[in-house]
Structure 1
Amino acid sequence: MEDSYFLHELKKKACFFLKEHVKIVRLALTDVTHAQLLTEEAISGNPWPPDSPSMREITKASFEVDEFYRIVEILHKRLERFEARQWRASYNAVILVEHALTHGPYSFAKEFANDRAVLREMEGFHFVDDKGFNWGESVRKLSARVLKLLEEEDFLIQERIKARNLTRGIQGFGSFSRRSSPTKDESHSNRFNRKQHESEYNGTRNLSLIETRQGSGDWKGVRKWEEAADWEEVSQSLISSVL
């Protein structure tokens, strides 16, 4: 029994070691980016869902135009069809899509509008594992939520505002735990991180514009303005950081 457990653990470590070295080789010898590798791993069909740090890193990378289309391409391929036998891969992909819709560039909504047929198919999925957990219900609920985000623009905008406010609230709470007298290096780092965060999440200008337009129904104008702000502000941030 102990020998079997030891052999199993040895195989797991060897597999992990091999995967990590393959990543290093791909990064060094191919055009693949770190965000692409994270996306592939997040939707690879693992028995666990994508972790929050990985999804945050993928979403942040998606504010760069080139990375955005690389990430979208991987997700599109995964969502081309739904296979019940490999439901975890599709489920993990939808988890990442939901996070991208609420935390990433607004352009994600346009990109995944054509994947609604697969999401509707997933709404009919049923599966209960050996321990009695109803995974089918989880898949159906998440698919229904993502469909609503794609089809109801006012709901999408409200959820993006909620997600952004939650992110700011968490960061604000974390700031109280910092030392009262940061060093010079820490102050410089904090200023850079704050500027980078404001560029990536479009600052308060998007929120104020959205909130003032809610009663007018001018969602189209909001969407165009927000998309332009995403790429323009991130580009300015990148240029300023280099200079």
Structure 2
Amino acid sequence: MPIGVLTTPTHGCLNIHASLLPRWRGAAPIHRALLAGDDETGITIMQMDKGLDTGDMLYKVSASIEPDETAASLHDKMAALGATAIATVLKELSHYQAQAVAQDDSQANYAEKLVKTEGEVDWTKPAATIERQIRGLTPWPGAYTFLNGQRVKILAALPINTTQKTDKPAGTVVSVGRKAILVACGQEAEQANDNAAHDVQLSNTLAITKLQFAGGKPMTAEQLCHGNQLNDGDQFTAESK
């Protein structure tokens, strides 16, 4: 936005940003926080300047990211939190502007805009990474894979938290059960970092609890068992295969 526009109002322009700045500046802070495994996010009320989410911070409020949080549920949580935060600031705007804090650019990172192809699952990645991909890209663009050339959306899943591993190739359906479809993932365990919400996942198996075939309705694992649409040994692949 041109600086002339930003400085025209008496008190300048404010922005309600859905992250704890300077972390996750940019277009998709909610999704990127989930994909990265952050266990906390929040709202920052910021004085807008000519940079992208670089202005001084007037007010910050944090919120935990639950283990089953999706981009949709976190969006709604941030919307409610943001409404309360901006109302708080506007009641005493002069006070908050006088106490504004500059962002530490050395601590900043960028939440790039999502693209549709980010939804394609790479089964060579750890199960915990794929599980976060599913939650972080719900509802758009959604996580998906391919079975015999047919697109399959993965709607819900959990990483198996156990030391047992399968020796099946990544993407192989290990078993189809009433509670979950177990799929082999990458062999390497994922190391948790300071912002991760999950402990190290030693398993390389993902438990899919709900998915959707192209042109069909969402189905639970139990419904798939009855329909015989998926069998042990089937292989999920990338689109190009």
Q: Which has the higher contact order (CA 8 A, sep 6+)?
A: 2
Instruction: Flag whether TM exceeds 0.5 (same fold).
Output: no
User: What's the TM-score once normalised by structure 1's chain length?
Assistant: 0.22
